[in-house]
């Protein structure tokens, strides 16, 4: 069977986004998420390391993909030119589901999109969004309003609905001390989610991965609510999100969320289960019961999975030596790190770097 025939049996998801040379965000990250969820990622690049491509070249990419692959789901990420935004809108308007996740600010707060392009997003992309995904800071920028309460989040979401969006996901509002609040607003219903895992939710690249996972679930036929639930479950398995479930004892939920936050903060300092149990003021046995309930695995497995994920990022996206990576991750020696990596990945760090 030819490659074209094989691809025709796979559901395509189109990502229109910027290229990031380090691979943490943008097109590269979208491809990883979409393919890991079993779909076929097709892409149009809008800029390379914030150097914008000519509008004609961007539109040519989109036209070619739309005419040949007919993707029913499109994710619109970082597009920095107002005229390009308008032209892209005309090319993707026929898609069944359009996810608008413009990434107006970087994870460190830098504005990535000029103001005229922000106005173009308001005029041309929000009205066609099946789901609009924004951080609260981005919503504040778009509407020139401050979000200080849950009610403010609802008002902002309703404003975007009035502008044409079918549903809105507002992420990572910090108006409650020690918590991040996310709102899904669809069909005149507000669904709130809170998390103590402030490190995980705000980690670089998480928003892009979440929006790609949502796009993938919509491509499988999920409705908006199920797509977000399944996407959160996927991200949760990547050990970046905490959970909030009213059916689970609140104390265990709090401890679990705090464990993930501590892990994000101290993974390069200690790999010991007892270290985290002590900080949580619980026994290692009780912490094991909690992780087994949420993840069906031990706290040590959670720690190791987190370390392996961070190790792969360093190996794939930096020129650091294996020894330097070992020390950055808190291993006492390169040998100990190599033993750990080979046990988990079935190959050495050097072999992994060579293959990737």
Q: Which of 40, 43, 41 is nearest to 10 (CA)?
A: 40
Under 8 Å between Cβ of 122 and 142: yes
Number of domains in the chain: 2
Q: Tens of pLDDT along 283-307?
A: 999 999 988 887 788 999 999 988 9
C-alpha span between 79 and 328 (Å, rounded): 34
Strand, helix or coil for residue 187: coil
Q: What is the pTM of this model?
A: 0.65
**Which pLDDT score is estimated for 228?**
86
Under 8 Å between Cβ of 263 and 310: no
Q: Which domain holds residue 153?
A: 3-237
The dihedral through the CA atoms of 167, 172, 174, 178 has a sign that is positive
DSSP class of residue 123 equals: I
124 plus 50 within the same structural domain: yes
C-alpha span between 239 and 242 (Å, rounded): 8
Given strand 51-52, what is the order of strands in its sheet?
51-52, 40-48, 12-19, 73-76, 97-100, 131-135, 167-173, 180-186, 189-195
**Which pLDDT score is estimated for 247?**
41
Residue ending a domain, choose from 207, 237, 267? 237
The dihedral through the CA atoms of 326, 327, 330, 333 has a sign that is positive
175 plus 61 within the same structural domain: yes
90 plus 227 within the same structural domain: yes
Which residues 6+ apart lie within 8 Å of 87 measured at CB? 55, 58, 59
**Which pLDDT score is estimated for 225?**
87
Q: Tens of pLDDT along 201-244?
A: 455 567 788 899 999 999 999 999 889 888 877 776 664 444 44
Neighbours of 293 (CB within 10 A): 13
Q: Which of 254, 302, 247 is nearest to 280 (CA)?
A: 254
C-alpha span between 216 and 84 (Å, rounded): 24
Taking CA 212 as the corner, what is the angle to CA 196 and CA 66, rounded to the nearest 5 degrees?
A: 165
Asked if residue 244 belongs to a domain, the reply is: no
C-alpha span between 315 and 302 (Å, rounded): 20
Asked if residue 242 belongs to a domain, the reply is: no
204 plus 258 within the same structural domain: no
Q: Tens of pLDDT along 127-163?
A: 999 999 998 999 999 999 998 887 888 899 999 999 9
- Tell whether the model's pLDDT for residue 89 goes beyond 90: yes
Under 8 Å between Cβ of 253 and 291: no
289 plus 212 within the same structural domain: no
Residue ending a domain, choose from 203, 237, 271? 237
Under 8 Å between Cβ of 242 and 285: no
Under 8 Å between Cβ of 194 and 244: yes
pLDDT band at 178 (very low <50, low <70, confident <90, very high): low
Neighbours of 177 (CB within 10 A): 5
Residue 290 is part of a domain; what is its CATH number? 1.10.10.60
């Amino acid at each position: 069977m030819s490659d074209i025939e094989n691809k025709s049996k796979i559901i395509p998801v189109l990502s229109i986004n910027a290229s990031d040379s380090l691979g943490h965000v943008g097109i590269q990250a979208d491809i990883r998420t979409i393919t890991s969820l079993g779909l076929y990622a097709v892409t149009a690049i809008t800029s390379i390391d914030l150097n914008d491509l000519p509008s004609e070249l961007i539109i040519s990419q989109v036209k070619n993909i739309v005419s040949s692959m007919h993707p029913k789901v499109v994710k619109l990420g970082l597009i920095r030119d107002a005229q390009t935004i308008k032209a892209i809108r005309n090319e993707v308007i026929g898609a069944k589901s359009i996810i608008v996740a413009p990434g107006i600010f970087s994870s460190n707060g830098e504005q990535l999109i000029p103001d005229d392009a922000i106005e173009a997003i308001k005029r041309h992309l929000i009205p066609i969004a099946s789901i609009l995904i924004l951080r609260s800071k981005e919503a504040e920028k778009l509407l020139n309003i401050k979000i200080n309460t849950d009610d403010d989040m609802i008002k902002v979401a309703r404003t975007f609905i009035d502008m044409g969006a079918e549903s809105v996901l507002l992420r990572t509002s910090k108006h409650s001390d020690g918590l991040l609040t996310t709102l899904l607003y669809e069909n005149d219903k507000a669904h709130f989610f809170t998390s103590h895992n402030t490190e995980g939710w705000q980690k670089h690249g998480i928003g892009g991965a979440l929006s790609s996972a949502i796009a993938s679930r919509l491509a499988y036929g999920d409705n908006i609510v199920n797509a977000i639930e399944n996407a959160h479950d996927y991200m949760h398995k990547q050990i970046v999100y905490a959970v909030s479930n009213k059916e689970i004892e609140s104390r265990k939920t709090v401890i679990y969320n705090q464990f993930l936050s501590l892990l994000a903060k101290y993974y390069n300092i200690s790999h010991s289960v007892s270290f985290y149990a002590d900080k949580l003021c619980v026994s290692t046995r009780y912490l094991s019961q909690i992780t087994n309930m949420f993840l069906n695995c031990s706290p040590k497995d959670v720690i190791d999975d987190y370390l392996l994920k961070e190790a792969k990022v360093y190996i794939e996206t930096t020129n650091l030596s294996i020894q330097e990576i070992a020390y950055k991750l808190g291993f006492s020696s390169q040998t100990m790190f190599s033993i750990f990596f080979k046990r988990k990945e079935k190959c050495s760090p050097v072999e992994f770097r060579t293959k990737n």
